Amino acid sequence: MFNIQIELIRSGQPRPYADSILEYKIIVSGDLPNDIDRIIEEFCTKSLTHCDKKYSDERMWCDSYYSFDSTLLDNCNKKYRFIVTSPYLD
């Protein structure tokens, strides 16, 4: 069993005519399974926001995309950063 703490770091456009950005900090603690990275990435892309394209994937210029990275804090804690970018569409 593990616990998830989610914090929204920023949301919206940093300036007029800019892309919209959602940035989350996620901390997972407890008894972590081996595939915790996959579980958290799937949770983020299906539950936090519906975004299925990574930054490096082939995508249309108007599609939203995400980046996902993790940091191991210690044996029982892991920190993730999940950022979704939605291009400005005029």
19-56 pLDDT, tens digit each: 999 999 999 999 889 999 999 999 999 998 888 888 76
Range of the domain at 33: 2-86
The pTM score is 0.85
Separation CA 21–CA 10 (nearest Å):
7
Q: State the total domains in the chain.
A: 1
**39, two tokens:** 């579980």
Confidence category of residue 57, pLDDT binned at 50, 70, 90: low
| Beta strand spans in 1-90 (E) | 2-12, 20-30, 65-74, 77-86
